[in-house]
Amino acid sequence: MRHLISLTDLTDSELRRIAHRGAELSARPTPRPTPLDGQIVGVYFAKTSTRTRTAFSSGALRLGGSLIAYGPGDLQLNTGESTEDTGRVLSGMLDVLVARTAGPEAELRGWARQNTMSVINAMTAEEHPTQALTDLTTLLRHFGRIDGLRILYAGEGNNTAAALALALTRFPGVRFDVRTPPGYGLAAPIAHRARAQAARTGAVLAERHDMNDLDGHYDVIYTTRWQTTGTSKPDPRWRDTFAPFQVTTALWETSPNAVFMHDLPAHRGEEVTAEVLDGPHSIAFAQATNKMHSAMAALEFVRTTPAPATPPARQDRTPVAAR
């Protein structure tokens, strides 16, 4: 029995193993083992979700598990029960709890203070670790590797950006360029931890608060929605601050072979233009599908002893139709 609350809880080997298992499941959709046969997975989402909730629900079912779903008003947390007490109660009935709170990570740590139920972080305020696992899976499927990739992230230094920083700096030779608006950068503890990891592995994390002097020749250009789930911005003119960070086709002038990634949902005309999101370089919707495969890998990890993963097959790049 393991938990998956933060990427910092994983060793380098465990992080690679989950990513490679996700890519393996993506490449070989059938037949699938059923390691969760007889196990019950609770799915609790206090905030909205399309991809992550569906990914873990369908993934658990494909692995042979059964589901109990909870909405934001279903648990006695709303009447003041502590997270520790809730975790103790649920652990007597569930084998896994997948939870999105968009609140502090400490809430999930409270649920994890028992020794029978695995807890998986489906997004907290600080970090979105299962999104990063999806992204690693997608990179492996497309490039066949992560080591040495050059990745540009443009937009808010939110929980997705935090998870990417904590994940990508574990891979040798990766350059992760983060361009965030002033006042919306990576949280200092996240940046500090990621830079320490980069110093150990030979990766590079570089953050600036403008879109000038881009190095170009990127393998991946990545963005997220500007209004992160569960948050609001105090500055009424924040859109003006974010406008220079929109991902447009101009970014491909010096990176003609780069692919585009987005954790979705996307707002065309805000963080990304329709020409990019729906264009030939976009793998955003293949990335979304891979969320199920990486969710399955995460579920296997917390409940089983993982078998050695085989090298992933590359995923063909095809134009993405408008959704």
58-78 pLDDT, tens digit per residue, is 999 999 999 999 999 999 988
Residue in this structure with the two tokens 């230094």, named with its chain if needed: 157
φ, ψ (nearest 5 deg) of residue 77: -55, -30
Residue 310: per-residue pLDDT: 53
Half-sphere exposure of 116 (CA within 13 A, CB side): 11
Distance CA 150, CA 50 (A): 29
pTM > 0.85: yes or no: yes
Q: Which residues of 189-223 are buried (b: 16+ CB within 10 A; e: fewer)?
A: ebbebbbebbeebebbbebebebeebeeebbbbbb
Please determine, for residue 222, whether its predicted confidence score (pLDDT) is greater than 50.
yes
Q: Quickly list DSSP for 240-268.
A: HHHGGG-B-GGGGSS-TT-EEEE-S---B
φ, ψ (nearest 5 deg) of residue 51: -75, -50
CA 179 to the chain's CA centroid? 18
Q: List the single range of 12-26, 86-100, 123-137, 227-241 with lowest mean pLDDT.
A: 227-241
Please determine, for residue 319, whether its predicted confidence score (pLDDT) is greater than 50.
no
CB atoms within 10 A of CB 67: 14
Which strands make up the sheet holding 220-223, listed edge to edge? 204-208, 175-179, 150-154, 220-223, 259-262
Please determine, for residue 307, whether its predicted confidence score (pLDDT) is greater than 60.
no
185-207 pLDDT, tens digit per residue, is 999 999 999 999 999 999 999 99
Distance CA 240, CA 305 (A): 49
Inter-helix orientation angle 129-143/284-303, to 10°: 120
Distance CA 121, CA 109 (A): 10
Residue in this structure with the two tokens 């873990």, named with its chain if needed: 56
Say if CB 170 and CB 12 are below 8 A apart.
yes
Say if CB 202 and CB 172 are below 8 A apart.
yes
Distance CA 203, CA 149 (A): 10
Name the pLDDT band for 227 (thresholds 50, 70, 90). Answer: confident
Please determine, for residue 13, whether its predicted confidence score (pLDDT) is greater than 50.
yes
Name the pLDDT band for 212 (thresholds 50, 70, 90). Answer: very high
**Which residue type, as a one-letter code, is found at position 303?**
R
Domains and CATH numbers, the chain: 7-126+291-303 (3.40.50.1370), 129-285 (3.40.50.1370)
Mean pLDDT of the region 4-29: 95
Mean pLDDT of the region 246-266: 97
φ, ψ (nearest 5 deg) of residue 265: -75, 155
Residue in this structure with the two tokens 């109660």, named with its chain if needed: 89
Residue 234: per-residue pLDDT: 82
Mean pLDDT of the region 286-293: 98
User: CA geometry: angle at 190 spanning 187 and 193, to 5°?
Assistant: 145
Distance CA 182, CA 203 (A): 24
Residue in this structure with the two tokens 């959709």, named with its chain if needed: 29
CA-only gyration radius of the chain, Å: 19
Say if CB 168 and CB 176 are below 8 A apart.
yes
Residue 215: per-residue pLDDT: 86
DSSP 250: G
φ, ψ (nearest 5 deg) of residue 177: -90, 120
Residue 282's SS3 state is strand
